[in-house]
Structure 1
């Protein structure tokens, strides 16, 4: 049985990954933004443990974790949470850029820093669930894509730095997936939302588990997942 810390377990891809790991009897640590959310996550995933920390305030994560117990050994850190706010570069204010970069890039970097000792102890794995926007930036996606391009760079640098310690690093680039975030994106785009037109979150969860379950003689570095229809 492995020990896994998941961000974004409350919905979408993160919830699908948490459910699949729980069904296998794995030990889950779930990041919650506040104490109320932590209770909700423990009720949803019986037997799980929670850490409280707000990804929107990455500079406070070290202080928050200093008052809580952390896993001694961590087989995987699954960074799945994210935010998206669309708009043309000519109209996005600094606040949107700062919030997007904080949650999608700075917080994952800080989580990695704080949990690296536990990952090294277990020769574990960091999985970043990125986005197709981490490979290509389209109009109105500047802030989100910039954060995801940065996340790709974070993963590549981390992989080079931690290879000798036995820590594997994988980035998954899903296309549009039927999640609450996607529903919000469609609303911002002024489009009707049809979840059956996009990837099922469980399919992305299967991709994440494939990377985790790969034998130790190999490492999946990058996986791109696209809608099949």
Structure 2
């Protein structure tokens, strides 16, 4: 039975991935920002374990994990959690920059560091759910895009460093997806939200699970998913 550590499993793409893996009987370790969220995830995915730590404060993740039981083996680490705060460069405060860089880039790096020993044991797989903003930057998306460009660099470097240990690394770049984050973006931009225009989270989950299940003789490095409508 494979063991998967997933961030962002409470909604959107992360929840869709967790549902797929849970339904087939795999073991889940679901990250939660606090005890309340962990309780919700445990109820949503019976039998799953939870791991609590605030991604917005990556400096304290090591302390948080030291007080919890960590899985001895990890087959897949799936980074889905993310935040976005739109704004022009002339308006964004250091707080907005720090928040997005912490959650979207530094916390994934720290989580990966903690789980690398377990991933090496099982020749596991690290999946970074990036964004189209990790490949290009548009106006008012500077901080978010910078965090996602950094996430691409993290994945590319990790892939080269861990290839000899048998650890696979995949970056997935979804276009606009019908998630709570997309609702927030539309509100910030003053636009009407229509979920039918965007990718269903289940479709992104299909691509992620495909990459995870790929036989060991191959590896998906980068996967771009765009709206088909």
TM-score by length of 2: 1.00
Size of the aligned set, in residue pairs, is: 229
Give the structure 1 partner of residue 187 of structure 2. Answer: 187
Give the structure 1 partner of residue 17 of structure 2. Answer: 17
Deviation at 1:83, TM superposition (A): 0.1
Unmatched segments (≥5 aa) in structure 1: none
Tell me if 1:116 matches 2:116.
yes
Deviation at 1:207, TM superposition (A): 0.4
Deviation at 1:43, TM superposition (A): 0.2
Q: CA RMSD in A?
A: 0.4
Deviation at 1:44, TM superposition (A): 0.3
Equivalent-residue separation in structure 1 for 2:10 and 2:108 (angstroms): 17
Equivalent-residue separation in structure 2 for 1:20 and 1:215 (angstroms): 18
Alignment of 1:143-222 (within 5 A): 143-222=143-222
SS of equivalent to 1:170: strand
Equivalent-residue separation in structure 2 for 1:65 and 1:13 (angstroms): 24
Give the structure 2 partner of residue 135 of structure 1. Answer: 135
Give the structure 1 partner of residue 86 of structure 2. Answer: 86
Unmatched segments (≥5 aa) in structure 2: none
Equivalent-residue separation in structure 1 for 2:138 and 2:35 (angstroms): 37
TM-score by length of 1: 1.00
Give the structure 1 partner of residue 48 of structure 2. Answer: 48
Give the structure 2 partner of residue 74 of structure 1. Answer: 74
Runs of 4+ in 1 over 6 A off after TM superposition: none
Equivalent-residue separation in structure 1 for 2:36 and 2:98 (angstroms): 25
Deviation at 1:86, TM superposition (A): 0.3
